[in-house]
Chains A and B, each alone.
Chain A
Amino acid sequence: MVNSNDESLDRSQLVKGVLDLAVLSALSQEDGYGYDVVRRLRSAGLVDVAEASVYGTLRRLFATGMLTSYVVASDEGPHRKYYGMTPVGHERMTEQREQWTAFRNVIDSIANTSNKGNQ
Chain B
Amino acid sequence: MTSHSDHIRDAATFAENVRREMRAHPAEIVADLTDGLESDIASSLSDGAVLPSVEDYANDLLTGAGHEPLSQFDVSNKKITQLVEMFTPIMDKVRECTVGLAPAWWVFRAWALTQMIGVVVSGSDSIRPFFAQWGEMPILGLVLFVALLVFSIQWGRLQKPAHRNLRHILSIAVASAGVVLLFTKSGISYPVQSNMNYETSSCVVVETPNIVGMSVAEARQTLVLVLPNGFTFFDQDSMVDIASAPLESMVIQQNPEPGSHTFCGGEKLQLVIDLAKSAPTVQPQGITTTTAELPQEPSTSTLQPRPTLTTIPKKAVSTTIPKATTTTSP
B63: Cβ under 8 A from any A Cβ: yes
A35/B63 in contact, CB under 8 A: no
Q: Which residues of B contact A51 (CB under 8 A)?
A: 40, 44, 49, 57, 60
A57/B65 in contact, CB under 8 A: yes
A55/B37 in contact, CB under 8 A: yes
Q: Which residues of B contact A34 (CB under 8 A)?
A: 36-37, 39-40
- Which of B32, B35, B39, B60 has the most chain A CB within a 10 Å cutoff? B39
B266: Cβ under 8 A from any A Cβ: no
Q: Which residues of A contact B44 (CB under 8 A)?
A: 35, 38, 51
B38/A78 in contact, CB under 8 A: yes
Give A51 to B35 CA distance when docked, in angstroms.
Answer: 15
Given A52-B57, A52-B61, are A79 and B36 also a contact pair (CB < 8 Å)? yes
Given A35-B43, A55-B61, A56-B65, are A77 and B36 also a contact pair (CB < 8 Å)? no
Report whether over half of chain B's contact residues are helix, strand or loop; otherwise say mixed.
Answer: helix
Residues of chain B at interface, number, CB under 8 A: 31
A53/B12 in contact, CB under 8 A: no
Enumerate B1-57 residues with CB–CB distance to A below 8 Å.
4, 8, 11-12, 32-33, 35-44, 47, 49, 52, 56-57
B42-83 vs A, CB cutoff 8 Å, 1 = contact: the mask equals 111001010010001111111111110000000000000000
Give A83 to B201 CA distance when docked, in angstroms.
Answer: 82
Residues of chain A at interface, number, CB under 8 A: 26
Give A9 to B233 CA distance when docked, in angstroms.
Answer: 98
A78/B49 in contact, CB under 8 A: no
Q: Which of A38, A56, A78 contacts B36 (CB 8 A)?
A: A78
Give A57 to B42 CA distance when docked, in angstroms.
Answer: 19
Q: Which residues of B contact A33 (CB under 8 A)?
A: 36, 39-40, 43
A7: Cβ under 8 A from any B Cβ: no
Given A79-B39, A80-B39, are A52 and B4 also a contact pair (CB < 8 Å)? no
A50: Cβ under 8 A from any B Cβ: yes
Given A76-B4, A78-B12, are A55 and B39 also a contact pair (CB < 8 Å)? no
A92: Cβ under 8 A from any B Cβ: no
Give A34 to B36 CA distance when docked, in angstroms.
Answer: 9
Given A50-B52, A56-B33, A76-B4, are A81 and B64 also a contact pair (CB < 8 Å)? no
Q: Which of B12, B36, B62 contacts A80 (CB 8 A)?
A: B36
Q: Which of A50, A56, A63, A78 contacts B39 (CB 8 A)?
A: A78
B46 to A, closest residue via Cβ: A35
Give A41 to B66 CA distance when docked, in angstroms.
Answer: 20
Give A23 to B38 CA distance when docked, in angstroms.
Answer: 20
A19: Cβ under 8 A from any B Cβ: yes
Give A71 to B11 CA distance when docked, in angstroms.
Answer: 18
4 interchain residue pairs of minimum CB distance: A56-B64, A81-B36, A52-B60, A56-B65
Jot down 21 A-B pairs with beta carbons below 8 A, ordered by A: A33-B39, A50-B52, A52-B56, A52-B59, A53-B61, A53-B63, A53-B64, A55-B40, A56-B64, A56-B66, A59-B32, A59-B64, A59-B65, A60-B64, A60-B65, A76-B8, A77-B8, A77-B38, A78-B11, A78-B12, A78-B36
Instruction: List chain B positions with a Cβ less than 8 A from chain A.
Output: 4, 8, 11-12, 32-33, 35-44, 47, 49, 52, 56-67
Instruction: List chain A positions with a Cβ less than 8 A from chain B.
Output: 19, 33-36, 38-39, 50-57, 59-60, 63, 71, 74, 76-81
Kindly list 12 other residue pairs between chains A and B, CB separation below 8 angstroms, not including A59-B64, A81-B39.
A36-B43, A52-B56, A52-B59, A52-B64, A53-B64, A56-B61, A63-B32, A77-B38, A77-B39, A78-B11, A78-B38, A80-B36
